Amino acid sequence: MNTLVVCPKCEKLNRVALEKAASAAAICGSCKTELPLHDGVQDLSSNTLSKLLRNSDRPVVVDFWAEWCGPCKAFAPTYKAAAQELGADFVFSKVNTEKFPDASQSFQIRGIPTLIVFKNGKEVDRQSGAMPLPMLKEYLSRWK
Ligand SMILES: [Zn+2]
């Protein structure tokens, strides 16, 4: 099972085996920068988000969150658990809305956490508020 990870430095799209990434840090094949992949979920910037949306071979799920947001933090383990189970069908990612307000502005994020599902680079659905794991999996299964 692999996922696509965009390098924060050179923006190369890396194919990373999730099994391998669980035990060792994933490294960019081009510039050797450590990739921001944590338990199957990658951190994106505004730039790497657009790059991923243009190039992903499968649907992309983005969790828009912030450090100060309690519900976002509570949702993080659930999101990671979903990434472990559904990593073959989706690319799981998150955007820190405080660090990248331009991303949250261009997608008109009103409240966090907000989850957006993109297919072929286009938004197909969004959901605000945290969900328990079974509900999240059920929600995502529609967009495989
Ligand atoms: Zn790189």
pLDDT digits (tens, 9 = 90+) for 83-116: 999 999 999 999 999 999 999 999 999 999 999 9
How far is Cα of residue 120 from the mean position of the Cα atoms in its chain? 15
CA-based radius of gyration for the chain: 14
Span from the CA of 35 to the centroid of ligand 1 (angstroms): 8
User: Which amino acid appears at position 1 of this protein?
Assistant: M
Q: How far apart are CA 116 and CA 104, in angstroms?
A: 11
Annotated catalytic sites, by residue?
69, 72
Span from the CA of 15 to the centroid of ligand 1 (angstroms): 12
33 band by pLDDT with thresholds 50, 70 and 90: very high
**pLDDT greater than 90 at residue 17:** yes
User: Which amino acid appears at position 14 of this protein?
Assistant: N
Encode pLDDT of 44-62 as tens digits: 999 999 999 999 999 999 9
For residue 1, the model assigns a pLDDT of 87
H or E, element range at 14? strand 13-17
Q: How far apart are CA 5 and CA 8, in angstroms?
A: 9
Span from the CA of 43 to the centroid of ligand 1 (angstroms): 14
Q: Across all residues in the chain, what is the average pLDDT?
A: 96
